[in-house]
């Protein structure tokens, strides 16, 4: 499969790490930075929000903690509920990041589930692709719609494992398998990872990368969990490349020789 390259390639650019992380929900910027450095992530997501007019000018900003010279900043459209808001937000992000085109599109449908609004996601994706953006798109795990997003020109499709911030892991591996089987752009699991084994499972299945935020930020020890996630993603990738043994459902197979036993 053309996706199966040694390094992660998104929109023509190579990345060594297959773990992408969000920057929300941390206690403070020190914890944000320490966890993200420990994760080894090269791509980090950020949200775009109105500046707080009362803020102290001496306080550092997120992009001083995580400078675009060291990280690929992936602006998101978190909190957007229609295509218009999402496109507007990413145009501001592009100006803020000096023309940077790689973005994460997410158009939410309802604030209880944060499930994607797929019709609005499609509209926004078309408009953004036409405007020169490189769109990584958060979507449902519907293989048909994931393929439609690829055909629109999205540079990566990012189906949810389970609801954003739920930590429930991969709830529908069968749909994810179909998406992986059909996609020719990178497939990332985005949302729903709870712990290291969830990330490893996604990678073992052949996902190109995993994007997470809450699983690290809301662990009791985020920095330690960031390291665990790094290892899980690496281990899962290596297991995928190694090719797992065939499952034998009804018969055991001894690892020790049957000959030469003492009795």
Partner 1 sequence: MPLNIQFNGETRTLDAAMTVAALIAELPLAGKRFAVERNGEIVPKSQLANVEIRDGDRLEIVIAVGGG
Is 75 near partner 1 (CB under 8 A)?
yes
Secondary structure element (H or E) that encloses residue 72, with its range: strand 72-75
Determine contact, residues 222/37, Cβ cutoff 8 Å: no
Q: What residues form DSSP beta bridges with 187? A: 157
Is 56 near partner 1 (CB under 8 A)?
yes
The residue written with tokens 């809450």 in the block is 214
Of residues 26, 18, 37, the one with CA closest to residue 226: 37
Is 55 near partner 1 (CB under 8 A)?
yes
Tokens for 92? Answer: 């501001």
Least distance to partner 1, CB of residue 134, Å: 18
Residue whose CB is less far from partner 1, 5 or 113? 113
Is 103 near partner 1 (CB under 8 A)?
no
Is 88 near partner 1 (CB under 8 A)?
yes
Is 26 near partner 1 (CB under 8 A)?
yes
Secondary structure element (H or E) that encloses residue 102, with its range: strand 102-105
Out of 35, 80, 83, 97, which residue is the one contacting partner 1 (CB under 8 A)?
97
Tokens for 247? Answer: 């499952």
Residue 34 region, left (φ>0) first, then alpha (ψ -120 to 50), else beta?
alpha
The residue written with tokens 């055909």 in the block is 151
Residue whose CB is less far from partner 1, 101 or 178? 101
Residue whose CB is less far from partner 1, 74 or 152? 74
Residue 218 appears among annotated catalytic residues: no
Q: How far apart are alpha carbons 246 and 128 in whole angstroms?
A: 43
174-213 mask for partner 1 (x: CB under 8 A)?
-----------------x--------------------xx
The contact set with partner 1 (CB under 8 A) reads: 22-26, 32, 45-51, 53, 55-57, 59, 61-64, 73, 75-76, 78, 88, 91-93, 95-97, 164-165, 191, 212-214
């Amino acid at each position: 499969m053309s996706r199966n390259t040694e390094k992660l390639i998104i929109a023509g650019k190579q990345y060594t790490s297959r773990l992408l992380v969000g920057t929300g929900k941390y206690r403070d910027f020190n914890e944000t930075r320490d966890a993200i450095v420990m994760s080894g992530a090269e791509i980090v997501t950020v949200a775009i929000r109105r500046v707080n007019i009362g803020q102290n000018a001496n306080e550092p900003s997120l992009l001083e903690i995580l400078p675009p010279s060291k990280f690929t900043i992936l602006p998101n459209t978190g909190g957007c509920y229609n295509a218009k808001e999402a496109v507007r937000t990413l145009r501001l992000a592009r100006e803020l990041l000096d023309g940077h085109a790689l973005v994460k599109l997410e158009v939410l449908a309802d604030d209880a589930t944060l499930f994607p609004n797929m019709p609005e996601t499609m509209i926004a994706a078309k408009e953004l692709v036409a405007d020169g953006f490189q769109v990584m798109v958060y979507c449902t795990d519907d293989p048909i719609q994931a393929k439609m997003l690829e055909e629109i020109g999205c540079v990566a499709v990012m189906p949810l494992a389970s609801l954003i911030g739920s930590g429930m892991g991969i709830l529908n591996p069968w749909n994810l398998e179909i998406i992986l089987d059909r996609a020719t752009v990178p497939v990332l699991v985005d949302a729903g990872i709870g712990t290291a084994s969830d990330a490893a499972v996604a990678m073992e299945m052949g996902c190109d990368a995993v994007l997470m935020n809450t699983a690290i930020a809301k662990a009791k020890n985020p920095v330690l969990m960031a390291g665990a996630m790094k290892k899980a993603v690496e281990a899962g990738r290596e297991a995928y490349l190694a090719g797992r043994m065939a499952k034998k459902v009804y018969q055991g197979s001894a690892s020790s020789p049957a000959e030469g036993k003492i009795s």
